[in-house]
């Protein structure tokens, strides 16, 4: 790869990575890890945003040294950028289900009771702390 192309890739990826470190965007359809699980929970959006910023900065450094390092970091960005929010959502809500109301990004979380296995729709991510299972009455999060 020509050095000018490497410098260009490093500047673009590094610029986006640094921008993402200092700017926290709300869930949107233009930039960020745009998955239903990240739209359903703002904390998961923020954590995946930070991970993507770190990988973009790593891609910039990798582009300066070797094209192979750049390609490896691109693969990491794509694979881990998808798996990490899914894992966080599953760990928090004990399911991968979500529900969608009207609109293009109005995803809402669904929690699964650890006692009886009942699925329950939540109005938003903040309701998980106070929510109780409709079937058995157990809280979703132990305090």
> CB-side exposure of 121: number of CA atoms within 13 Å?
6
Rounded Cα distance between 62 and 29, Å, is 27
Q: In angstroms, rounded to a whole number, what is the distance separating the alpha carbons of residues 56 and 70?
A: 10
The answer to whether residue 117 is domain-embedded is no
Domain that holds residue 37: 3-93
Residue 107 resides in a domain = no
**Average per-residue pLDDT for the chain:** 90
- pLDDT category at 47 given cuts 50, 70, 90 is very high
Residues 92 and 142: their CA atoms lie apart, in Å, by: 12
**Is there a domain that residue 80 lies in?**
yes
DSSP 26: P
Looking at mean pLDDT, say which of 1-10, 27-36, 42-51, 101-110 comes out highest: 42-51
In a domain, 26, yes or no: yes
Q: What is the pLDDT of residue 102?
A: 72
pLDDT above 80 (res 100): yes
Classify the C-alpha dihedral 17-19-23-24 as positive or negative: negative
pLDDT digits (tens, 9 = 90+) for 103-113: 667 889 999 99
- Residue 114: inside a domain: no
Provide the domain count of the chain: 1
Is 60 exceeded by the pLDDT of residue 143? Answer: no
Residue 24 pLDDT grade (very low, low, confident, very high; cuts 50, 70, 90): confident
**Does position 15 have pLDDT exceeding 90, yes or no?**
yes
- Look at residue 4 and give its three-state secondary structure: helix
Among all chains, which residue has been given the structure tokens 């809280």? 139
Q: Is residue 122 in a domain? A: no
């Amino acid at each position: 790869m020509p050095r000018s192309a490497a410098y260009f890739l490093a500047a673009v990826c590094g610029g986006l990575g640094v921008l993402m470190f200092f700017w926290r965007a709300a869930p949107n359809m233009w930039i960020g890890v745009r998955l239903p699980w990240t739209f359903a929970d703002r904390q998961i959006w923020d954590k995946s945003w930070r991970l993507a910023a770190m990988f973009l900065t790593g891609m910039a450094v990798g582009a300066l040294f070797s094209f192979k390092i750049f390609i490896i970091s691109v693969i990491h960005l794509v694979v881990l950028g998808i798996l990490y929010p899914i894992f966080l959502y599953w760990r928090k809500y004990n399911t991968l289900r979500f529900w969608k109301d009207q609109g293009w990004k109005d995803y809402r979380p669904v929690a699964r009771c650890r006692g009886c296995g009942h699925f329950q729709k939540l109005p938003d991510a903040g309701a998980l702390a106070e929510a109780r299972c409709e079937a058995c009455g157990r809280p979703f999060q132990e305090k």
